Amino acid sequence: MKPKLALLTGAGMSAESGFSTFRDKGGLWETHPVEQVATPEGWRADPELVNNFYNGLRRQLVDAAPNAGHRLLAEMERDYEMTIITQNVDDLHERAGSTHVIHLHGELMKACSSTDPADPRHIVTLPLDHLDIRPGERAGDGSLLRPFIVWFGEPVPLIGTAAEVVSAADALIVIGTSLAVYPAAGLIHAARPDVPIFLIDPNEVGTPRDRHVHVIRDVASRGVATLIEALRQQPSLHSS
Ligand code: OAD
């Protein structure tokens, strides 16, 4: 049986694909106030401004490519049973070839009802020839069509599933997240006390004091290559 790895990825995972992170210097929340573009209140105040923000990111996404870090994680499926829990709304893990990806904060390529964003009947994938959500465009239930993004103050429907994945894992790997946003950041506490936790980030990230975390202080691409070597040294992570 292959050892089970749970991964928690954040904006730093996609930085080498050209995406700004949120909280680093010059990050997205510096140029686009979070309350304007990532809250239900911001949406109600100015849906067009919010749509324009995500339309721009979506256009950037279709021109972007997975980086070496994404690709290495996909290749690791040969040796490990991998589930990637990502806070990222891009689809770069999937495009690199990862097959088990949980999007905690939604998906940029999708749009949904603004009355009930989680209603699967009204979640649509935006095709390449219709990338923008246009002013006044409607979802299947007649409400304004909105980006399929979990905004601040909204429930995170997949958090329970993600916690189950982490608690069943033989190791937890955290990549490119400041661990500043809950409930995602709390997933680290779902890891069993005996399993190793690895963290890849070029900057210092606060982690729970009661857990030993193996820190790889590097960017995602090189960090994942280092991680692969480190996992080979862990006797608990050899296939049985
Ligand atoms: P942050 O911007 O808070 O954190 C990004 C992390 O990536 C930081 O710890 C950086 O040091 C690290 N980083 C920067 N470049 C990197 C690289 N090349 N390789 C690896 N790491 C790098 O982003 P998140 O933690 O993902 O939510 O933010 C979590 C959530 O907050 C997002 O999903 C988003 C945001 O508000 C919503 O929009 C709902």
- pLDDT tens across the length of the chain (240 residues): 999 999 999 999 999 999 999 998 889 988 889 999 999 999 999 999 999 999 999 999 999 999 999 999 999 999 999 999 999 999 999 999 999 999 999 999 999 999 999 999 999 999 999 999 999 999 999 999 999 999 999 999 999 999 999 999 999 999 999 999 999 999 999 999 999 999 999 999 999 888 889 999 999 999 999 999 999 999 888 877
In our burial notation (b when 16+ CB lie closer than 10 A, e otherwise), range 211-221 reads eeeebbebbbb
Say yes or no: 167 and 213 in one domain: yes
Is the CA virtual torsion 91, 181, 215, 237 positive or negative? negative
Instruction: Please tell me what DSSP assigns to residue 205.
Output: -
Residue type, 84: I
Number of domains in the chain: 2
For residues 2 and 21, give the distance between their C-alpha atoms in angstroms, rounded to a whole number. Answer: 33
Say yes or no: 11 and 25 in one domain: no
How far apart are the CA of 99 and the centre of ligand 1, in A? 22
Q: Which atom of ligand 1 is nearest to the CA of 38?
A: 38
Report the CATH number at residue 142: 3.30.1600.10
The residue range of the domain holding 117 is 21-63+111-149
Which of 105, 189, 214, 238 is catalytic? The answer is 105
In this structure, the residues whose C-beta lies within 6 A of any atom of ligand 1 are 10-12, 15-16, 21-24, 27, 38, 87, 105, 150-151, 176-178, 180-181, 201-203, 205, 219-220
Say yes or no: 76 and 160 in one domain: yes
For residues 196 and 234, give the distance between their C-alpha atoms in angstroms, rounded to a whole number. Answer: 9
pTM of the model: 0.97
